[in-house]
Structure 1
Amino acid sequence: DGARPPQVFLGSHDPLLDWALRQSRCGIATYFDGSLDGLDRFEAGEGLASGLHIFDAAMDHWNLSAVQGRFAARNVALLGFARRRRGLILSADAPDAIREIADLAGLRLAPRQPESGTHGLFEHLRAAAGLAQDALHYCDPARSEADAVMAVQSGNADVAFGLEALARPYGLRFVPVIEERFDLLIDRRAWFDPPLQQFVRFVQGDSFARHAAGLGGYDIDGIGAVRWNP
């Protein structure tokens, strides 16, 4: 069935996932550059798992459409990791009246790169809110969740479409917009190897649950649930 993939986690960056990989001492490296990039690299055999949050507006669900056709013949499984609150992360100078995406006209947005799930989700919600693309001033793309928030914190942008868990440490205002599903596409062979098993044991423990609660904006009740098993 071929060689096992490298011990690398791909896909979209998630602060809770990143912390758990390091804290579990499982030895798995990371290369986070967006959900779509992660799927391409996973398909090419460059890693053992990929984190993703890709919204299918037509089907009104997360991640399934992105993997079902593409990986139906592969030895993979899609597992739940967490639900995350995403919304508007605003600078101290942003108007207090901002309550939704439609209120962002005229502001400087720190966007994500097109390969990220965040980019596609924001553009869908922006269009649904009736906000024209040219009503926003798009800054240079941020290649991670943290980079987008830091652009706001440093004053280079007025708003980012980011995670509540990252707004808190920077003391920035957060306006919730949507709860998204963050899942893990796993190579089934690697699942039974020591590194992933060590990671799995860690995320089932109390330390992980306490950290998730402390970050805020996470619901981990469905962690490890099988969402798709071709």
Structure 2
Amino acid sequence: MTADISYTTEEISKLLKISKLTVYDLIKKGELPAYRVGKQMRVDAADLDAYKMRAKSGKVYAAMPEAPIQQVQAQSATPSSKAAIVITGQDVSLDILSKHLERQISTHRPLRSYVGSLDSLISMYKGESDIVSTHLLDGDTGEYNVPYIKRLLTGNSYVVVNLVLRMAGLYVATGNPKQLLGWEDLKQPGLRVANREKGSGARVLLDEQLRLHGISPRQLSGYEQEESNHLGVAGKVASGEADFGVGIERAASMVGGVAFIPLIQERYDLVMLRKPEHAQWIESVMAILKSEAFHRELRPILGYDLSQTGHIVFENEGI
């Protein structure tokens, strides 16, 4: 019976031929009632049918065409009477932040969207997300995040605050058989790379370093093949399918047969749009970032530096 059927957000995305981020936008706007089962959000078939009937009559929010944003999942949702806070990014620190927000804010529900840094900023520009994380290196200035944020969020009022500092570098096989000790060593002929998807912070880091060191991506076998997360990249190196990949220290420690070559400390920041309706939860986010309870959960994570956590990096008042 229809009453016994429910759908995941991924299934709804395929049924309606829209992006999964759009599904979350429909939920955020109250068009699709949703509920949580463990870490997964589901929508009853009856509610989906009701939405489709309203869509046919032109009485619902217009869904966007399929967007190139992948790997979106919900990890926290409550009944749709609460306003949603969409948090984008792939780091575990964001899951911990989401958990703290859910405990402390009774008027909102956090929704997690697992997308890369550049796609996160674009989703904020489109009004699809509320808290975005980013670790994008501008190779010309050596600055993280702010140059990209300024270009994409022109005219908006926002605050950029540090979440964590993390070590990024190269994943290599145990023993480092290719002797890759720095970016310059990627000029070595015949190297195979396990690459990340376009728009991810790790992909931008690699591309910027290749550009700065005069290395053509065409020199690297496997450059066009993409993995969606750090563990996938580390796994390719561990299996011998690639000689190196770019990522963060924590993932290397989780995969056997992989060593980590630290090369740069990256600033992993949060961006929040300043709007009157956001004031309450922005204040809560800032308090959480500076709290001992939050820091206590982050400290054991390998490669995290919390010395700047909660520090405001940049603010823009908009037009």
Measured against the shorter chain, the TM-score band is 0.7 to 0.9
Deviations 1:124-163 (A, max 9, x none): 2123334442332125201222322233334433321000
Are the equivalent residues in 1 in contact too, given 2:121–2:152 (CA < 8 A)?
no
Are the equivalent residues in 2 in contact too, given 1:110–1:157 (CA < 8 A)?
yes
**1:113 equivalent in structure 2:** 197
Are the equivalent residues in 2 in contact too, given 1:101–1:131 (CA < 8 A)?
no
The separation in 2 between residues aligned to 1:101 and 1:57, in whole angstroms, is: 13
Correspondence for 1:20 among 88, 93, 97:
97
CA 1:149–1:29: 2 relative to 1, 3 Å: farther
The separation in 1 between residues aligned to 2:280 and 2:262, in whole angstroms, is: 38
Deviations 1:56-109 (A, max 9, x none): 222321111112243242232111112111001112374062212333432321
Question: What is the RMSD of the two structures over their aligned residues, measured on CA atoms?
Answer: 2.7
The separation in 1 between residues aligned to 2:139 and 2:184, in whole angstroms, is: 18
Are the equivalent residues in 2 in contact too, given 1:5–1:45 (CA < 8 A)?
no
Unaligned runs of 5+ in 1: none
Aligned residues: 226
Are the equivalent residues in 2 in contact too, given 1:110–1:151 (CA < 8 A)?
yes
Please, what TM-score do these two structures have when normalized by structure 2?
Answer: 0.62
1:64 paired with 2:146, answer: yes
CA 1:98–1:69: 2 relative to 1, 3 Å: closer
1:146 paired with 2:231, answer: yes
The separation in 2 between residues aligned to 1:201 and 1:150, in whole angstroms, is: 37
Please, what TM-score do these two structures have when normalized by structure 1?
Answer: 0.83
**1:165 equivalent in structure 2:** 250
Q: Which moved more, 1:183-192 or 1:113-122?
A: 183-192
Unaligned runs of 5+ in 2: 1-28, 30-81, 104-108
Deviations 1:41-67 (A, max 9, x none): 111111111101122222321111112
Deviations 1:174-221 (A, max 9, x none): 101111111111122465345x66555444333432443322222121
1:9 paired with 2:74, answer: no
The AA in structure 1 aligned to 2:245 is A
Are the equivalent residues in 1 in contact too, given 2:231–2:255 (CA < 8 A)?
no
**2:263 equivalent in structure 1:** 177
Are the equivalent residues in 1 in contact too, given 2:173–2:243 (CA < 8 A)?
yes
The AA in structure 2 aligned to 1:21 is S
| Identity level (%) | 23
Which structure has more RCO (C-alpha within 8 Å, separation ≥ 6)? 1
